[in-house]
Structures are given as C-alpha cells and as structure tokens.
Amino acid sequence: MMRSFIPFGDPWKLEIQVPYSLLVSDRELSWTCGQVPLDGASNVLAPNDLLGQTRVVCDHIEAILGKNGIPLSAIGKLVLYYVQREADDAARMMACCRERFGTRPVLVPIAVPYFYYDGMLIEADAFGGAADGATYEHSRDGALVKIVDAGELSWVGLTIDPARMTEGIALLQSALADFGIAPDQRLAEHWMAPQGNAGRLADTLWQARLISDKGSLVESADPAARLVGELTYVRGRTAKVERETRDIGNVRVVSRRSGRFVWLSGRSLDPELGLVPQTTKLMEALAEALAAEDMDFNSVVKSTSHYVGGSTADELYENMMVRNGYYQRPGPASTGLPVFRLADQNSRIAVDFLALGDPTVCNNANTST
C-alpha cells in the first residue's frame, strides 16, 4: 500500500488551520491524529460527558478508517487520554471502546488534568496494522500486559502496581519472551506514572533498561493511577534497534532506528525557558536529528507532544504554531495535549515522532483541502 493521507476537516476540525492529517497509512500500518469530540465547526460534542464523548470519538475513528478502506479489525492499539472525575471512569471508557472495537486492541488509559476546550474530556489515538496478527494477554501480581502483532511492529500495553514493580517487570519480560520479542527490539516508549511517584519509578525503569530518558516520563493527574507503559517493538528474529542518546544544544534527544523505522524523542533541559521557547529549541534539535538520519519532516508519520501548560486553546496553539512551521500539508498524524508534568520538571514539553524511510512509497493520492 502506498502512503496515503486523510486531511483535516471532516468529520471534525480545530479552530485554526493545521498542516496535519487525520490519518496516515503506509503499507499495513496506520496512525490517526488525536481524535477529539468536536464537530466540523469546532464545537465540543456531549460536553462534560465522558461516555458520550467516547462514543463520538469512536464514531470519528470508524469514519476516518472507512475513508481509507481500513477495517475495524485492523485497529491494534488505542491510547486514551481522559480527564478522570470518578474512580471508575477509565473502566467505563475502556468498556465502551471494547464494545465498539472488540477485545483485540491494546488499550492505554492516561489521565490528564484537563484539555484545551471547555467540556472536553477525552482524546484518543488509534493505531492500525495487520488484522490477522497474533495477540497475547496475561495478568499476574497486580500487573497486566497485552501484546498485538501488527505486522512490521508489535504494540505492547502494560499496567503495573507501583508497589510491585519487580513483579510487573518480570511479567513483561516473560510475555516478550513468550511472544518471541527480544528486549533490544524496543523501538519506542511512553511511560506514565502516578502523581508523586515519577522519580522513583523512572529510576526503577532505568535500572531495568526499559526507559531511555528518565526525564521524559509523564506524571499522571491521578495519584492513585498505576504505572502505564506504551511500548513499540520491531518484529523479526533478526531485527535489531540501533540507539543513541545525546544532547543537541540544551535538548536531550533519543534516536532509535531499525530498518525503515526511526523514532526520535526530545525535550529541552533549560529551566530558564518557557513553553514556547523550549518548543522552538526542541524542534530545532529534532530537525538536526532527522537530518542525521538522512530524513526530514516529510518522513514523519506520527508525532506526539506532551506539554505542561494551562487548559486554554491559546496555550495549545502557541506551542503548536512553532511545531506547525516545520511541516507541509498533508503532514503527519499529530497529537498534542497538556499533561500534569514531566519527571524532569525543568522540561515544559516533550515531543517524539515516528519517521519512515523508503520515500519511493510516498504519494498524496488521498489528500485534499
């Protein structure tokens, strides 16, 4: 399958023009931007109703995948950012997603303090891949791990009781071995820790070689949350991941490459800079890191930005405008939203993206304005 894009505008859009796509597909893999409960006029639908908004977001995902002829059975992972108001919000939200998409996808719930539109309670990323790949799920000692084979990649979701980290890490290691994945095949990672425990848990993950940059760990808005891991591994017995962590200026950059896949993650280390200046320095460093991989921003298919800021759309747009300047339409599937804080509290924003080589497969056949 050639690389294709579904542009912004239908079934929903933001209040500003953005150089991003609702969906990017490449071969069997697909990535949506963060799907939100908005309509075509940027109005929040089902305001302050988490389940109602979850259904709206599921409708958006189904509609967008349908435009590209992708079956719902191809969905292998959903990352669910949500504002928690009741103790059972995550369970009810995930049950709603399972009702719509079945039990196959990895579900990754992440509590955030608020969103950038009043009354908005959820934002969801959907990841598609080979629909017939194997799955694995096991729970033990207060931990749960699920793995989905998406073809070229495998997606892993993990939740661990913070008081039982040793047992949870052992469960992950056992699950990967059972699924035929080597620890050094990890391409990408996001970790979310309960409020107040980020430093200790980041140290434990570092010692287990499960995190490349301790300061990038996201601290959840929920102090009672479990540790959540969203991990991506390359497939194939001989597949290896080359990795490097370096500072470009005052920006910490993690680079990983395997075959045609490159994952880059960065955050500013300068405590004197505010959100927008940190975003500027960060994007400059990531541009340099992309160039070192013989790539540019046209190679990026999925971008994720976690920033520490307020609950207004203006704060989103201010740092988004910096990021927007590096892309041309149709652009990647992009997600950006406020989080409680990062483990390194000197950092106001962390950005990562997945870039793909082999530009000969790229076209814009499905783009429009």
Instruction: Give CA–CA dist 112/122, Å, rounded.
Output: 9
Q: Tell me the pLDDT tens digit for each residue of 308-346.
A: 998 888 888 888 999 999 999 999 999 999 999 999 999
Average pLDDT over every residue of 239-248? 93
Percent of the chain clearing pLDDT 70 (strictly above):
96
17-46: b (≥16 Cβ within 10 Å) or e: ebbbbbbbbbbbbbbbbbbbbbeeeeebbb
Selection from 290, 81, 98 nearest residue 190 by Cα: 81
Region 76-94: what's the mean pLDDT?
Answer: 96
**Residue of 344, 345, 347, 341 lying closest to 282 (CA atoms):** 347
Q: Which residues contact 161 (CB under 8 A, 6 or more apart)?
A: 141, 142, 143, 167, 168, 226, 227
Question: Rounded to 5 degrees, what angle do the CA atoms 259, 260, 265 make?
Answer: 100
CA distance readout (Å), 97 to 58, 64, 65, 128, 181: 7, 16, 15, 15, 27
pLDDT > 90? residue 225: no
pLDDT above 90 (res 362): no
Average confidence score pLDDT of the chain: 93
The answer, yes or no, to whether residue 291 has pLDDT greater than 70, is: yes
Asked if 257 contacts 241 with a C-beta cutoff of 8 angstroms, the reply is yes
Q: Are 162 and 201 in contact (CB under 8 A)?
A: yes
Q: Which one is predicted more confidently, 222 or 44?
A: 44
Average pLDDT over residues 227-243: 91
- pTM (2 decimals)? 0.94
- Predicted local distance difference test score (pLDDT) of residue 316: 83
pLDDT tens digits, residue range 154-188?
999 999 999 999 999 999 999 999 999 999 999 99
**Could you report the per-residue pLDDT of 260-270, keeping only the tens digit for each?**
999 999 999 99
> Which amino acid does the sequence have at 62?
E
- Whether the pLDDT of residue 279 is over 60: the answer is yes
Task: State how far the Cα of 47 lies from the Cα of 117, in Å rounded to an integer.
Answer: 10
Specify the pLDDT at position 1: 54
pLDDT above 50 (res 237):
yes
